[in-house]
């Protein structure tokens, strides 16, 4: 089975879990994963015009505002942004432009991927990554749509991420650690738009570093990691965080996912670094 219609997905599991079990993903993952680790941050060569992307991003923020990250404690003032994709069937009643910014059903410490104890089923929740398959209004009605449409992989859980250092609280640093989906489900590209050296990034068991404007990064986001400010300042860190389904393509006209040519043949991070995600990112 190579085509998966969203309407056929069982209600008790996520879309990715359904595809994974049906298409025997794990066997394919095991073969690829044994060849590559990709445990370190990867600085990807590119020829994008970051100034143009910055202008687009700030125009979108000006028009739609910054939405806060959601937890049982309400919306965060220190971290938020705009969701670039949304799930039209999401169980939470959330603005499409805020769809991927947490959930009111988890507390701040429950955002390690698969912290699903609050849900009888993960289908159509924050943890159903492939449910986030439609472009949010902040993309579809803005110039960001032109940039996003140049990618050759299908967009999934993605956002403009904003960290506001004016709300710095050292006591909150621990919950900034989090772990995302396996890259075989969602491989990410991180594009710094606005930042300063107060903002740091850290992968578990590695030294903190500053991610610089002008660079584009990727890494294994399934390894615990965090971003944080080192002190209280009146500055913000704005990054575009793009997530892609590496081994399946989404076809909106059919509301279906179809296995693509990379399945079982190329590591998701290699798809990015070898230039198959975008003609101006990576190299062949």
DSSP string, 176-199: G-B----TTT-EEEEEEEE--TTE
Nearest Cα residue to 165 out of 272, 244, 78: 78
Q: What per-residue confidence (pLDDT) applies to 187?
A: 97
For 15, which DSSP code?
H
The encoded tokens of residue 5 equal 């219609």
For 117, which DSSP code?
T
What is the distance, to the nearest Å, from the Cα of residue 54 to the centroid of all Cα atoms in its chain? 18
Q: What per-residue confidence (pLDDT) applies to 114?
A: 54
What is the distance, to the nearest Å, from the Cα of residue 106 to the centroid of all Cα atoms in its chain? 18
pLDDT of the chain, 284 residues: tens digit per residue: 799 999 999 998 999 999 999 998 989 998 887 666 688 999 999 999 999 999 999 999 999 999 999 988 899 999 999 999 999 999 988 999 999 999 888 877 666 555 555 566 789 999 999 999 999 999 999 999 999 999 999 999 999 999 999 998 776 666 578 889 999 999 999 999 999 999 999 999 999 999 999 999 999 999 999 999 999 999 999 999 999 999 999 999 999 999 999 999 999 999 999 999 999 999 85
Domain positions in the chain are 3-273
Give the strands of the sheet with 3-5, arranged side by side.
3-5, 256-259, 248-251
Alpha-carbon span 139 to 85, nearest angstrom: 8
Alpha-carbon span 57 to 84, nearest angstrom: 11
Residue 71, CA atoms < 13 Å, CB-side half-sphere: 15
What is the distance, to the nearest Å, from the Cα of residue 112 to the centroid of all Cα atoms in its chain? 14
- Is there a contact between 142 and 56 (Cβ–Cβ < 8 Å)? yes
Q: What per-residue confidence (pLDDT) applies to 56?
A: 97
For 110, which DSSP code?
-
Q: What per-residue confidence (pLDDT) applies to 171?
A: 63
Q: What per-residue confidence (pLDDT) applies to 118?
A: 58
Q: What per-residue confidence (pLDDT) applies to 116?
A: 53
Which architecture characterizes domain 3-273 according to CATH?
A: Sandwich (2.60)
- Predicted TM-score (pTM) of the model is 0.94
Type and span of the H or E element at 105: none
């Amino acid at each position: 089975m190579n085509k998966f219609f969203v309407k056929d997905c069982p209600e008790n599991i996520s879309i990715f879990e359904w595809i994974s079990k049906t298409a025997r993903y794990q066997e394919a993952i095991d073969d690829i994963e044994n060849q590559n680790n990709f445990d370190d941050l990867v600085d990807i060569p590119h020829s994008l015009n970051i100034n143009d992307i910055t202008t687009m991003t700030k125009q979108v923020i000006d028009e739609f505002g910054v939405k806060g990250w959601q937890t049982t404690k309400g919306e965060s003032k220190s971290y938020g942004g705009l969701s670039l994709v949304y799930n039209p069937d999401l169980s939470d009643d959330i603005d499409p432009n805020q769809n991927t910014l947490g959930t009111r059903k988890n507390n701040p410490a429950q955002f390690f991927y698969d912290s699903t104890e609050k849900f009888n089923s993960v289908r159509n929740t924050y943890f159903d990554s492939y449910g986030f398959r439609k472009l949010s209004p902040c993309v579809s009605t803005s110039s960001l749509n032109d940039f996003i449409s140049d990618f050759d992989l299908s967009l999934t859980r993605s956002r403009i991420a904003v960290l506001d250092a004016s709300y710095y609280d050292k006591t909150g640093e621990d919950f900034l650690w989090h772990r995302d989906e396996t890259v075989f489900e969602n491989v990410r590209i991180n594009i710094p738009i606005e930042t300063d050296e107060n903002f740091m990034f850290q992968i578990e068991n590695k030294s903190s570093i500053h991610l610089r404007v002008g660079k584009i990064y990727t890494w294994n986001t399934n390894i615990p990691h965090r971003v944080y400010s080192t002190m209280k300042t009146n500055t913000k860190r704005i990054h575009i965080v793009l997530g892609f389904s590496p081994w399946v393509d989404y076809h909106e006209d059919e509301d279906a996912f179809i296995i693509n040519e990379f399945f079982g043949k190329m590591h998701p991070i290699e798809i990015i670094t070898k230039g198959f995600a975008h003609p101006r990112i990576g190299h062949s």
